[in-house]
Chain A
Amino acid sequence: MYVAVKGGERAIENAHRLLAHKRRGDQSVAEVTLDQISEQLGLAVDRVMSEGSLYDRELAALAIKQARGDLIEAIFLVRAFRATLPRFGASEPVDTGAMRVQRRVSSTFKDIPGGQILGPTFDYTHRLLDPSLAQGFAPEAPATADASTAPTPRVTDILGRDGLIESSPQAEEGAGVGDLTREPLNFPAGRDLRLQNLARGDEGFLLAMGYSTQRGYGRNHPFAGEIRFGEVEVEFFAEDAGFAVPLGSIELTECQMVNQFKGSATEAPCFTRGYGLAFGQSERKTMSMALVDRALRGRELGEEVRAPAQDEEFVMSHSDNVQATGFVEHLKLPHYVDFQSELGLLRKLRKEFADAQTPDAMKEAAE
């Protein structure tokens, strides 16, 4: 039997036309520009760059506009775009210690060298809606003060000097850097692949996973050793030029989580670490990432591995919102044939059930 497998082209075309119309909204209202999105919805742009795994503010703003503000759809658009460009290579690793800090706080030491710098933060706001923003709002010029030239060392470096915290694992000689956009993921995965996965992972998923560790599902007693946000320089070793060329600077947020001890008969006990790093000002994301990074080190640190956040296969296979939305949303595509076969099976089962329910006496009478 043949069934119709074509059709709907005009409906699809008209649906896209209607979408474009709805996206624009009431045309008596001014159209939003990419600059407006980039400047005034900056944290949405940061999230799309982080999870889209592509640092380009203008493209992220375009994606947000095209997606009508649906950030996961925007992330999808950015991921699809990145597949259209050739890759020139990999940058030199950025030096977050040399960051031009715009915000830097530690919850472990009050008096850190370089000081506690609040920067532009929602912390300490009262979370009351501000009606003045409903009309045109011109903010006061920012206050200024003499900037100190004192360095702002990482809190973990300060703890590390006294051996109170484990040092970061160094690269093994000749070891490559894993790239999950190039090679399929295998388990167990190295820390490099885990951090790459978390860096592009869904903020909401990581938040829930990180939160679950705090509530006891893989508890590891975290302190926010330091959170810093600011600009770092990017350098790239250019084959043609034969030296590392400066590419400009990017904004990053880094979180160093300090966690409870490890130690053994041969090693003095020391704090352990979880690490978070993401594009833009992404504090919730990097804090969650650092909690989950630490939880995923459970096996390495000899902890009992029972909670979801400690299970790398579970975390890494479900963190990507483009993959997740693809599989969840594919359910709305036609499954007519699959469904027909299920329906046929169900009818057969129901008939068997009905037959079994019919008392033998009735059957005999019928015969």
Chain B
Amino acid sequence: MAVLAHAEAGEIAARLRDLALDLALPAHQDLRAPENGLVMLRGRVGGDGAPFNLGEATVSRAAVRLASGEVGFGYTLGRNSEKARLIALCDALVQSPDFGAAIERDVIAPLREQLMIRRKQAAAETAATKVDFYTMVRGEG
């Protein structure tokens, strides 16, 4: 689910749409209508000590139930309620014996790959700014 939280709503929707061309997705209903709210983000004193409240973030959440009974939950940073609903739908579908493998293969795996490419590129750009120290030889010989 972490992959979906990192993806754009449009990307998830497009992949689900493509999947639905080959495979009729099951009927589903909102168990919790998508809504926006806040989560208080916490840090730790010194990075590893007691928790403290750093500040809030906007969060969207939703829950859906498939006609076959599987329940999925969607949570994501930001105010895009539709994205939360799409994540909830994927979460429900991934638990379904009929759709789980297809969701993993056609939705989550490609999005994971895109995420890894973006992270790899960022890591390579960061690595180029790493300092190589060298010692100057002073005097002669």
Contact = CB atoms under 8 A, between A and B. Distances in A.
Nearest to B121: A144
A358 to B, nearest CB: 65
Interface in B9-48: 32, 35-48
A199 interface: yes
Size bracket of the A interface = 35 or more
Contact of A85 (B32, B36, B78, B133): B36
B81 interface: no
A110 B1 CA distance: 39
A174 to B, nearest CB: 12
Nearest to A165: B46
A180 B78 CA distance: 23
25 contacts: A85-B36, A87-B56, A88-B61, A91-B40, A93-B44, A100-B122, A100-B123, A103-B129, A117-B130, A120-B129, A145-B128, A145-B130, A146-B127, A147-B126, A148-B130, A172-B50, A177-B50, A234-B77, A240-B32, A240-B63, A247-B5, A247-B77, A248-B77, A250-B41, A275-B45
Contacts of B125: 142-144
A97 B47 contact: yes
B56 A82 contact: yes
A236 B38 CA distance: 11
Nearest to A254: B47
Interface residues of B, number: 52
A7 B137 CA distance: 80
Contacts, number: 229
Given A85-B38, A88-B59, A93-B42, A170 B50 contact: yes
A169 B58 CA distance: 29
B55 interface: yes
A179 B40 contact: yes
A58 B58 CA distance: 11
A71 interface: no
A211 B55 CA distance: 25
A115 interface: yes
Nearest to B119: A100
B6 to A, nearest CB: 6
A148 B120 CA distance: 11
Given A55-B55, A55-B57, A179-B53, A277 B73 contact: no
